[in-house]
Structure 1
Amino acid sequence: MAKIALITGATAGIGEACAKLFASAKYNLILTGRRLDRLEKLAASLNKKYDTEVAVCAFDVRDREQVISNFENLPAKWKKVDVLINNAGLSQGLDPIQSGNVDDWDTMIDTNVKGFLYVSKVVSNWMIANGRGHIVNIGSIAGKEVYPNGNVYCATKHAVDALNQGLRIDLVQHGIKVTAIHPGAVETEFSEVRFKGDKERAKKVYVGFEPLVANDVAETIMFVVSRPKHVNINDLVIMPTAQATATNIVRK
């Protein structure tokens, strides 16, 4: 029987790369995201290429009722989730607190922290009932350091780091693995979303060095979940070779 991976934020970037990699490894998939057209296109592509079964759930993780209703309305066979990848997350703006946009703060907190919790609560209970599972939480180097103007985004990713540790403690008695992956600079839509569609400003973030790409992180996640039953990788930071800290990047 094929294993099942549930991936949030699967419409682009790391989530989409995970969907492709896990489909190639013969997982069946539950893919979530806000953009139904992208989810359906990805699902059709993976089904055709890998003969993978894909369930699509289009909703915003910030909406607790949508999270609960979409997941609980899935057929029973889809609740046998082996791997949850908590990938949905974003950054909005890059401003000091005194001039920050409060709506941006709400979006980051509601997505990166509350959405993470809503999904984790439902799926962890499935895993407890099933007697197995592995939760992989996508954090950030921003969850290990604080950098100029990163204030609220860094706070949300520090929260992910803390919640990852809390989940590990709470679920260890049930034999459920919990891992956090903290990437440095990854060239995806992240900066474009942060700068609200300003593609030129987003491109400048990655100029002069070779950043990670989404598949680098996806391959790391696959490595983590493929460890033997008795092995859990609690916490892993992955950076481009040219990046030593959040702000220390060698550019040529």
Structure 2
Amino acid sequence: MTDTPSHSSSQTSSQTSSHLKTTAAAYDAFADVYAELDRDDIDAPSVDRAVLAAFAELARISGPGPVAELGCGPGPVTAHLRKLGLDVFGIDLSPVMIDIARKRHPELRFEVGSMDALDLADGSLSGVVSWYSVIHAPADDVRRYLAEFRRVLAPGGHLVLAFFESEGEPLTAFDHKVTTAYRWPVDGMAALACDAGFTEVGRMLRDPGEGERFRRGHLLMRAGG
């Protein structure tokens, strides 16, 4: 079993860019409200669950390594993946979010850490889940995240990316409830992942549900090697 990451606050702070510090502080302040939002209830019937089920099946056959949800927030997706039979743990930049996740899901492991500098060995994971966790990052930072995701994935391991889709428009900023976020063209996000060493396995777009503003994009990718 690969050890999960363990960052002190000072280590995490030294590794994060200014926008990451801003994002962490915003989620710390909004954590209690965010954790109660209905959209975080992944157990509700949704086509999103089909994407996670497909990812879980691929991750199980990728190899013996664990799966990491990066940017796990209060942990609903991590817990759902455990129900799907995965050896999974969660990482988030927000210490307050991690505290909530640990209280809600004491049977699972959650650690504070930064997606751009993971305390994980090269090739140690069979799967990575990025469920709306890169939405606050400008394009150059998304490239860095994807390179780090590729580093920690074993060859043949799988990545699932979920994000707000821009419906064919260029990268577009919008007023997210917590802090500024970005909508991505699905082809643009797929191209960045391919540049980082991934091959596309499949994609799913869905229209906004009740109370949602934007179309959602989902990409399943396989690490080369």
Q: TM (normalized to structure 1)?
A: 0.45
The structure with more strand, counted as a fraction of residues: 2
The structure with more helix, counted as a fraction of residues: 1
**Which of the two has higher C-alpha Rg?**
1
Q: TM (normalized to structure 2)?
A: 0.49
